[in-house]
Chain A
Amino acid sequence: MKRVLASCLFLTLCFVLAGPVKAETARERLESGIVNIQTVLSDPKYKNVRPKSEEMKDKFRNTIHTFFDFRELSRWALGKPWNRFSPDEREKFVKLFTDLLENTYLEKILSYDDEMKVEYDKEIVQKDNYVQIDTRLMSRNGPIPISYSLKRADNGQWMVYDVNAEGVSLVKNYRTQFGEILDVSTPEKFETTKVEMFKRLEQKIKDVREHKKTD
């Protein structure tokens, strides 16, 4: 009798533990991501230290990558021409574009030593797998409205693919720029402007790195 009871209990436990883990909501995901970022930024080991150590930059970058999907972000930033890129070109583009963002906007965040509170406002469900979360970054000069767009990936995890500050969407701003460079009118023009775009991306990253050394 006892053995039956024990085995039943064991079975129950197995199902409880093995049952699908309750998926994180988009809001929970974003919140924990931001908290982790704040933890890195306010770590007394790194705070108010200039220049920032490579160790801290790595830690910061890795934390961002836990809740930002840079592949998705690059795809949205490029827009429709993405469809006409080969898999290799896509990988190359994602790598370069991520590099550029890391060297500019992400570096910029590192320079803020102030601890800023984040207030969460509305959550707008755009479609089953798309959510926009409005927040306000409480800076000393008043709140800065920032919205995050998240998409549920195939594995059920929510990842950020766009950031919108004061109405300016990161991916849309870049889409306008890439649209200015890429000429999609004929396949030949598309090929040449594509080469040009990659060249400019590489040059830009080089310039930014040079720039930082002399700063």
Chain B
Amino acid sequence: MNILGRIGKGGAVSALVLALAIGLMAISWTKAQAQTAQTQTSTKAGDEFNGDDEFLKSTKTDEAAKISDPLEPWNRFWYEFNDKLYFYVMKPVAKGYKKILPERPREWVQNFFHNLMFPVRFVNCMFQGKLFEAGTEVSRFIANTAFGFGGLSRFAYDLKPVQPMGSTEEDLGQTLGAWGMGNGIYLVWPFLGPSTARDTVGTVGDLFLDPISYLNPWYYSVGAKSYDRINDTSFRIGEYETLKDGSLEPYVAMRDAYVRFRVKAVKE
């Protein structure tokens, strides 16, 4: 009462200040109300999964979790084989190779093989109707081959495309997936590693587009492919180890990771 009386005498400024104070008070009160309302709804979901729709949705739409693996014993056998192959052959060789050859030349080798696989990427971009991506692959291939020392440099890959672009890393397995073919069963191949029925068909089909397959005699192409693998491994030492160390079921972890990776690749 006293305050109001004084305001009457005091003039506009203090009234304004008081109005401001009340206004702010009201705003902060509604905000606080809104916040408590929010916490209330989120505690309702609680600690349980029942009623946690986000979780239920993620399990329902999880197509990767549903991969069928009827040949599991057979696949596990080859998984163990590849595991030994990695630790006893690939890793020591790649480690020694890494010591001899510095990072730069190893990158050139990687770029060279990547450039060589251009027909696979181009044809599969076309098959999936990704015309802009296919065109970009052509210009990158020409630029890297002509001005990048036969593909040793990947400078054209680092240039930003003029419009946003999807992935150009396409293969036949992804094309078949994009056309609606499912994964089929999970398969592990010796030397090649995890695959599925669909991706196996894709890998074989892509061999026809891979220039290295046309090397004559056949062991030249096997040699070139193996060298590509060793070179690639020299950049990835430690990745498989982390996955294996971190998982309780390395075989299952690998299968799950492979299928998820491919599901995403098909979507892109």
Q: Which residues of A contact B (CB under 8 A)?
A: 1, 4-5, 8-9, 11-12, 15-16, 18-20, 75-76, 79-80, 82-83, 100-101, 103-105, 108, 111, 126-130, 141-142, 152-156, 166-169, 172-181, 197, 200-201, 204, 207-208, 211
Looking at the assembled complex, report how far the CB atom of B179 sits from the nearest CB atom of chain A, in whole angstroms.
20
Q: Which residues of B contact A153 (CB under 8 A)?
A: 42
Contact segment of B19-27, B90-98, B187-195: B19-27
Interface residues of B in 130-162 (CB under 8 A from A): 157
Interface of B: prevailing SS: helix
Looking at the assembled complex, report how far the CB atom of B236 sits from the nearest CB atom of chain A, in whole angstroms.
10
Give A130's nearest chain B residue, CB to CB: B54
Q: A211 and B245: CB pair below 8 A? A: yes
Q: A5 and B13: CB pair below 8 A? A: yes
Q: Which residues of B contact A129 (CB under 8 A)?
A: 42
Q: A154 and B39: CB pair below 8 A? A: yes
Q: Is B18 an interface residue (CB 8 A)?
A: yes
Cross-chain pairs A/B with CB under 8 angstroms, 20 sampled: A4-B3, A4-B6, A4-B7, A5-B14, A12-B21, A19-B24, A19-B31, A82-B48, A83-B49, A127-B53, A128-B41, A154-B39, A167-B261, A168-B257, A173-B256, A173-B260, A175-B65, A181-B248, A181-B249, A211-B245
Interface residues of B in 111-135 (CB under 8 A from A): none
Q: Which residues of B contact A (CB under 8 A)?
A: 3, 6-7, 9-10, 13-14, 17-18, 20-21, 24-25, 27-28, 31-32, 35, 38-39, 41-43, 47-50, 53-55, 58-59, 62, 64-65, 107, 110, 157, 235, 238, 242, 245-249, 252-253, 255-257, 260-261, 263-265
Q: A177 and B261: CB pair below 8 A? A: no
Pick the contact of A177 from B3, B43, B47, B252 — CB < 8 Å?
B252
Give A1's nearest chain B residue, CB to CB: B10
Given A19-B24, A167-B261: A108 and B35 interface contact (C-beta under 8 Å): no
Given A83-B49, A167-B265, A200-B248: A76 and B260 interface contact (C-beta under 8 Å): no
Nearest first, the 5 closest Cβ-Cβ pairs linking A and B are A167-B264, A19-B28, A104-B246, A8-B17, A15-B24
Given A4-B6, A5-B13, A108-B238: A173 and B253 interface contact (C-beta under 8 Å): yes
Q: Provide the bound-state CA to CA distance between A172 and B55, in Å.
A: 11
Given contacts A127-B53, A176-B65, 6 further A-B contacts (CB under 8 A): A1-B6, A75-B49, A83-B50, A126-B54, A200-B248, A211-B245
Looking at the assembled complex, report how far the CB atom of A158 sits from the nearest CB atom of chain B, in whole angstroms.
12
Q: B49 and A20: CB pair below 8 A? A: no
Q: B249 and A166: CB pair below 8 A? A: no
Q: Which residues of B contact A20 (CB under 8 A)?
A: 28, 31-32, 35
Q: Which residues of A contact B157 (CB under 8 A)?
A: 142
Q: Which residues of A contact B21 (CB under 8 A)?
A: 8, 11-12, 15
Q: Which residues of B contact A180 (CB under 8 A)?
A: 249, 252
Q: Which residues of B contact A204 (CB under 8 A)?
A: 245, 248
Pick the contact of A168 from B3, B7, B238, B260 — CB < 8 Å?
B260
Q: Which residues of B contact A127 (CB under 8 A)?
A: 53-54
Q: Provide the bound-state CA to CA distance between A108 and B58, in Å.
A: 28
Which of B20, B27, B58 has the most C-beta atoms of chain A within 10 angstroms of its own C-beta?
Answer: B58
Q: B249 and A177: CB pair below 8 A? A: yes
Q: Provide the bound-state CA to CA distance between A18 and B65, in Å.
A: 49
Q: B20 and A166: CB pair below 8 A? A: no
Q: B238 and A111: CB pair below 8 A? A: yes
Pick the contact of A18 from B28, B49, B110 — CB < 8 Å?
B28
Q: B42 and A105: CB pair below 8 A? A: no
Looking at the assembled complex, report how far the CB atom of A56 sits from the nearest CB atom of chain B, in whole angstroms.
19
Q: A167 and B242: CB pair below 8 A? A: no
Q: A177 and B253: CB pair below 8 A? A: yes
Pick the contact of B27 from A19, A104, A108, A200 — CB < 8 Å?
A19
Q: Which residues of B contact A197 (CB under 8 A)?
A: 248
Given A4-B7, A130-B54, A180-B249: A79 and B260 interface contact (C-beta under 8 Å): no
Q: Provide the bound-state CA to CA distance between A1 and B17, in Å.
A: 13
